[in-house]
Amino acid sequence: MSFSAFPSFPQTSHSHALAPFGWDAAWEAEFAPYAEQGLLPGRVVRVDRGQCDVMTADGIIRADTAFVTPHDPLRVICTGDWAAVEAAGHPRYVKAYLPRRTAFVRSTSSQRSEGQILAANVDHAIIAVSLAVELDLGRIERFLALAWESGAQPLVVLTKADLVPDAATLGHLVQDVEATAPGVQVLTVSSVTGEGTDVLAAIVGDGTSVLLGISGAGKSTLANALLGAEVMEVQEAREVDGKGRHTTTTRNLLALPGGGVLIDTPGLRGVGLWDAETGVGQVFSEIEEYAENCRFHDCAHEAEPGCAVLAALDSGELPERRLESYRKLLRENQRIVAKTDARLRSEIRRDWRLKSAEGRANYAAKRGGGRG
């Protein structure tokens, strides 16, 4: 990619030069101890191979991340971080980064169940979903859970709206997504016709936004539309399944002409949860509201008497797909947390043993009754 999207700054103070990248009085106060050490503030715009590009008041510099590469993968420097960089030297080093306001984290596909941080200090999480293929509501719910957990405000953008010319059909698709994303704005956008791009530009014009989605969702095309230039390389999605070819290979922070910054990300093949119980609760807020009226406070919504969730399911107020998805994501999140939390893992095992013993006792009682 080209860094022509970055404005060239005159020699001026950090507060003025870095303001387009989100620098504010609070960040300046946080940075004060590092300023006393003669370090420069800057925002990380890309990370690769142990080095990163950092936007400073003097422009972009290349810096080594050796000093901020701990064993914990959630503490490595990432795109969106505010860094303290050496003022001179070759190579220059990032000496530290400021505490993150928000962080978008997913679990990796490794057997070690490590978390992977995708972007830091994000205000808006834009979830791009292509209308060129059948909607996967379950995947949208996963993205939303991670977005809510990160601390950012989610926004679902349905791309390639020009491929659904029938207004009624498009309206139904939007309604399906809105029902899947309570409390989240759903916007239809077409980079071909320009539909919705002005609304999206206004939303992302304030703060930092991260663009998320699978390959072929139209993220790079959407980024180019917001940038007003062909900055990100774009390839056509395969006709057979609508999937793209990972034209974006690194996470890049880009300055938007109308204000704000955008972090474009590679297409995500997997969207694993990472300690996102609060996020799951917000995605399924209607189920959590029903649960408040259950007879038992620890109701599992399986077969308990007085379960308000099951009552909503029976009445048709709550779609079965939503409840199944809620259960699935909670179970997945519990497994992830258990692998990293010994105490919770012990509690889960103890609960499993108790339920197993109870099941054996019930089975034995039934067999005994049968003999009588």
Residues 6+ apart with CB under 8 A from 35: 41
The b-or-e profile of 241-250 (16+ CB within 10 A means b, else e) is ebbbeebbee
pTM: 0.79
Q: How far, in Å, CA of 212 to CA of 111, rounded?
A: 24
Give the number of other Cβ atoms within 10 Å of residue 365's Cβ: 10
State the DSSP H helix or E strand holding residue 318, giving kind and residue range, or none if neither: none
Residue 231 has what pLDDT? 62
Residue 108 has what pLDDT? 60
Residue 337 has what pLDDT? 73
Residue 94 has what pLDDT? 94
pLDDT in tens, the chain (372 residues): 333 344 433 334 555 789 999 999 999 999 999 999 999 999 999 998 889 999 999 899 999 998 887 777 778 899 999 999 998 888 899 999 999 999 888 766 544 556 778 899 999 999 999 999 999 999 999 899 989 988 899 999 999 999 998 999 999 999 999 999 999 999 999 988 889 999 999 999 989 999 998 888 888 888 888 888 666 555 454 344 444 444 444 678 988 998 999 998 875 655 666 667 788 989 999 999 999 999 998 888 988 899 999 999 999 999 999 999 999 998 888 877 776 665 555 665 566 566 556 655 655 665 565 444
Pairing of strands 82-85, 261-264: unpaired
Residue 10 has what pLDDT? 36
With beta carbons less than 8 A apart as the criterion, state whether 343 and 350 touch: no
Residue 292 has what pLDDT? 93
According to the 3-state scheme, what is the secondary structure of 35-57?
Answer: HHCCCEEEEEEEEECCEEEEEEC
Residue 248 has what pLDDT? 44
Tokens at 117, concatenated: 């941080």
Residue 69, Ramachandran bin (φ over 0: left; ψ between -120 and 50: alpha; else beta): beta
Look-up of token digits 């200090």: 121
Residue 358 has what pLDDT? 61
Residue 1 has what pLDDT? 39
Residue 15 has what pLDDT? 57
Residue 362 has what pLDDT? 59
With beta carbons less than 8 A apart as the criterion, state whether 229 and 2 touch: no
Residue 240 has what pLDDT? 40
Residue 267 has what pLDDT? 59
At 157 the three-state DSSP class reads: strand
> How far, in Å, are 28, 57, 59, 257, 261 from residue 7 at the CA level?
21, 11, 9, 9, 12
Residue 6 has what pLDDT? 42
Q: How far, in Å, CA of 305 to CA of 308, rounded?
A: 9
